[in-house]
Amino acid sequence: MENNAFKSRHQTRAQKDRFFKFAVMIPAGIVVALLVLILAQVVINGARALNVDFFFKEQKPFGETGGGIVQAIVGTIMLLGTSIVVALPFSLLASLYLYEHRGSKRAKVLATAINTLQGIPSIVIGVVIYSWIVVPLRSFSSLAGGVALAIVMLPLMTSMIHASLEMVPSSYLEAALALGVPRWRAIIDIILPASASGILEATGLGVARAAGETAPLIFTAFGNPFLSLSLKGPVSALPLVIYEYIKSPYDDWHQKAWGAALLLVLFVLSLNVLIGSRKKH
């Protein structure tokens, strides 16, 4: 009797386990299928636009076919480069403050501010930077767009860098202090190098987070049909090209919008794959 009861309970647990695995696989399969479908449509439609002119020529006048989106490619690089220069120092300093003053009221206030900033819509950030930079300078600019993207990146990068600092064994710092090394020197020479991979991952994910933002760039970088290398003038970007081209009445522009979307997806996908490979090592 006891043996039969044990077998019955075992069968019941096995059935529940199979049901749970099946229930988990359904939403997981739906997510993977959606990703595959999105990537497939972007690749199929975007690959048709890829040619030499697409990468190396500027936009043609309205209604004319041909040309490319070199102004958007270069503009995206400029905007993301500016955002990294602005966001990385602030993220590092904020993370170090949280690391050094963990548990204090000020650190809790800073952590709350970072979490709140992460929830602010990017379009609101774009409007604020418009009033802070664009209006005083009386011009849309790459600088304004880079600052807007930096604020978008800042909360994610700060949280990840702080987590990376926390993962460094406390014995590293304690050993340095025991040898008479000043605390600031120990942090710079020991803690930061030990968390360098985490800082790089945070920067990469921050760039991936900001690369596809469109709303803040509409109010700051604005867009430019011509190639521009000026930080003080408006520039184009891949998200802006997609936004402008896909709503146009021209089939040629629609195709280029798909091509720009493909470049953006490949860029973000490459960053995530690179970061994932670094984590494994």
Question: Residue 119: is it exposed, middle or buried by C-beta count within 10 angstroms (0-12/13-18/19+)?
Answer: exposed
Q: What is the pLDDT of residue 80?
A: 97
Q: What is the pLDDT of residue 279?
A: 64
Residue of 153, 123, 155 whose CA lies nearest to 220 = 123
Q: What is the pLDDT of residue 280?
A: 60
pLDDT in 10s for each residue of the chain, 281 residues = 556 665 667 677 777 788 888 888 998 899 999 999 999 999 999 999 999 999 999 999 888 889 999 999 999 999 999 999 999 999 999 999 999 998 899 999 999 999 999 999 999 999 999 999 999 999 999 999 999 999 999 999 999 999 999 999 989 999 999 989 999 999 999 999 999 999 999 999 999 999 999 999 999 999 999 999 999 999 999 999 999 999 999 999 999 999 999 999 999 999 888 887 766 66
Question: Residue 116: is it exposed, middle or buried by C-beta count within 10 angstroms (0-12/13-18/19+)?
Answer: exposed
